[in-house]
Amino acid sequence: MGYCRLSPSSEPKSKLRQRFKVDRPISPPEKKDKITITIHLTPFNRAALVLSIITIQIVVHLYLSTLYFSAGDGFLPLIPVSVSTSCKEGLVYVYDLPKSFNTDLLRGRDALDNRFMIEETYSNDGFGPHVSSDFVSIIPSRFLSAWYATDQFAAEQIFHRRMLNHPCRTSDPTIATAFYIPFYVGLAVDRHLWNLAATPEQRDQDCSHLLRWLQDQPPFRRSNGWDHFLTISRITWNFRRQPGESWGSSFLVMPGMQNVTRLIIERSPWDSMDVAIPYPTSFHPHSAMQLQDWQNFVLEQDRRTLFGFAGAARPKIRGDFRSLINRSCEEAGSACRSVDCSDIKCLHGSAGTLELFLDSDFCLQPKGDSPTRRSVFDCMIAGAVPVFFWRETTRGQHSWFFPKEGGEDEWSVFIDRKKVRRGIVNIRKFLEGIGEEKLRKMRERVVDMIPRLVYAAGARGLGEGMEDAFDMALKGIFARFKEQKKRWR
């Protein structure tokens, strides 16, 4: 079947927005007769009463001072929360770690590319700087406030900020369901990751100190870490150094980490304590309304390109599949476009990659340095249908955020790379054969998934009952710990 182009639809495709419920005002209580009580106190009793009042005020002031925290754009109160309908899934306690384990790690220059200051890269609570003027010609101005130059390894800062602002955060560890460890382990390990002269002790120093601190905490000792979790902004393989190896840290195989759940951008299929979360993209909507507006926008795009590819070839790798994709794109002529990311053109999300994905029906997703890559999420939030060549890119990954395994053909395409190599399958002809109706349904399914793939800019999420990737992750944590607790009994 020939390649069929979809025309923009005039029918609204977003779900009906929820309406706010407004309660009726409560009538004021009826006035009652005023009763005056006179209490006669001795000078000694008066002095004791005044001293008691002053003591209570000091205690209250000290207590309240612990319930406030810096949240980037201001100070928000931490309200002690009791179990209620809004927090029926549980309460989360956030450890107040020494700054050497998180915010102090934001100082200095990037270890891999010293052109970038770490603090600037992860400014705006991890989202990074707002995008450049290049985006003005690509997307309507009403969306510009939601786009940032976000680094793909920013999950630790993004989660920390949202945890601090979460309405179900408690200041009382004795009633907490889950315990969050705001350790910026990705930044800690990155300082030595590219230094070939670094010793194993240097690579593990921050991680070892963190575990010693953690093992002194009563909640951790009580559960041995089963109800604790943290976010890791790099792939799992950077934290599994074995004896005799030189790459990365051994953090995830250290004693004390075996029971801790890790929210990580790429998990190990053989470790059930790893839970894959979406890579941060550059799109961080401020509200449910803005996100729904974006969904309509990408659905109505007039896409002129059949498939696109954003990435860099790896010519030094024998049989590099990306080089084969680039050749397939050149042979496809106007049906394919590509963006060469060999320099920094795609770093932190670029205008060029967004324009490519908004213009393409499909986006080719060969594996990166590991099975997963950020580009999968970049292309999906632009409404393009991802095309995979390795099963492990999706299977065993991101199961809390993608539809159940077995239904991947509803929102993605799989092409056997071995058949492409042998010339049995031509990428262009394969995608042209999918047909207009199926493509439309796949795109709508992809767009419907966008909320759970993005991290909202709002300190407490998207609102209006819409859940983003952070909400999905925390909900999954509560469900996981609830199930584990059943097994303890």
Radius of gyration for the chain, computed over Cα atoms and rounded to the nearest angstrom = 26
Provide the token pair at 60.
Answer: 């209250």
Of 197-206, 269-278, 445-454, 455-464, which range is least confident? 197-206
pLDDT digits (tens, 9 = 90+) for 299-350: 999 999 999 999 988 877 777 899 999 999 999 999 999 999 887 678 787 8
Average pLDDT over residues 445-456: 98
Q: Band of the pLDDT at 238, cuts 50, 70, 90?
A: very high
pLDDT digits (tens, 9 = 90+) for 352-390: 999 999 999 999 999 878 999 999 999 999 999 999 999
pLDDT digits (tens, 9 = 90+) for 169-200: 999 999 999 999 999 999 999 888 888 888 88
Instruction: Supply the pLDDT for residue 195.
Output: 82
Q: Band of the pLDDT at 68, cuts 50, 70, 90?
A: very low
Q: Average per-residue pLDDT in the chain?
A: 84
Q: Of 240, 216, 220, whose CA–CA distance to 230 is shortest?
A: 220
pLDDT at 430 over 90: yes
pLDDT digits (tens, 9 = 90+) for 390-406: 999 988 899 999 988 76
* Burial track 329-343 (b if 16+ CB lie within 10 A, e otherwise): beebeebbbbbebee
Instruction: Supply the pLDDT for residue 317.
Output: 77
Average pLDDT over residues 48-74: 46
Instruction: Supply the pLDDT for residue 314.
Output: 82
Instruction: Supply the pLDDT for residue 4.
Output: 41
Rounded-to-integer distance, Cα 367 and Cα 323, Å = 13
Rounded-to-integer distance, Cα 357 and Cα 181, Å = 36
Q: Which residues contact 11 (CB under 8 A, 6 or more apart)?
A: none
Is residue 311 within 8 A of residue 177, CB to CB? The reply is no
Q: Name the percent of the chain lying above pLDDT 90.
A: 67
Is residue 105 within 8 A of residue 98, CB to CB? The reply is no
Tell me the one-letter amino acid at 6.
L
pLDDT digits (tens, 9 = 90+) for 197-207: 888 898 999 99
**What separation in angstroms does the CA of 413 have from each of 156, 205, 294, 307?**
31, 43, 23, 12
pLDDT at 14 over 60: no
Average pLDDT over residues 469-486: 94
Is residue 230 within 8 A of residue 183, CB to CB? The reply is yes
What is the 3-state secondary structure of 222-257? HHCCCCEEEEECCCHHHHCCCCCCCCCCCHHHCCCC
Average pLDDT over residues 85-102: 92
Tell me the one-letter amino acid at 167.
P
Is residue 451 within 8 A of residue 382, CB to CB? The reply is no
Instruction: Supply the pLDDT for residue 114.
Output: 56
pLDDT at 74 over 60: no
Is residue 390 within 8 A of residue 371, CB to CB? The reply is yes
pLDDT digits (tens, 9 = 90+) for 263-286: 999 999 999 999 999 999 999 999
Instruction: Supply the pLDDT for residue 247.
Output: 86
pLDDT at 69 over 50: no
Rounded-to-integer distance, Cα 204 and Cα 172, Å = 31
pLDDT at 452 over 70: yes
Instruction: Supply the pLDDT for residue 318.
Output: 79
Dihedral-angle region of residue 128 (phi above 0 means left; psi in -120 to 50 means alpha; beta otherwise): left
Provide the token pair at 478.
Answer: 């509560």
278 bridge partner residues: none
Instruction: Supply the pLDDT for residue 40.
Output: 56
Provide the token pair at 141.
Answer: 């101005």
Instruction: Supply the pLDDT for residue 191.
Output: 85
Q: Which residues contact 273 (CB under 8 A, 6 or more apart)?
A: 258, 259, 260, 261, 262
pLDDT at 3 over 50: no
pLDDT at 210 over 50: yes
Instruction: Supply the pLDDT for residue 46.
Output: 62
Instruction: Supply the pLDDT for residue 245.
Output: 85
Is residue 173 within 8 A of residue 93, CB to CB? The reply is yes
Is residue 335 within 8 A of residue 430, CB to CB? The reply is no
Q: Name the percent of the chain lying above pLDDT 70.
A: 80
Provide the token pair at 198.
Answer: 């670094």
Dihedral-angle region of residue 429 (phi above 0 means left; psi in -120 to 50 means alpha; beta otherwise): alpha
Provide the token pair at 259.
Answer: 């029971």
Question: How many CB atoms within 10 Å of residue 467?
Answer: 16
pLDDT at 102 over 70: yes
pLDDT digits (tens, 9 = 90+) for 127-173: 999 998 889 999 999 999 999 999 999 999 999 999 999 999 999 99
Of 64-73, 452-461, 472-481, which range is least confident? 64-73
Q: Band of the pLDDT at 52, cuts 50, 70, 90?
A: low
Of residues 63 and 125, more confidently modeled: 125
Strand order across the beta sheet in which 385-388 lies: 336-340, 305-311, 360-365, 385-388, 413-414
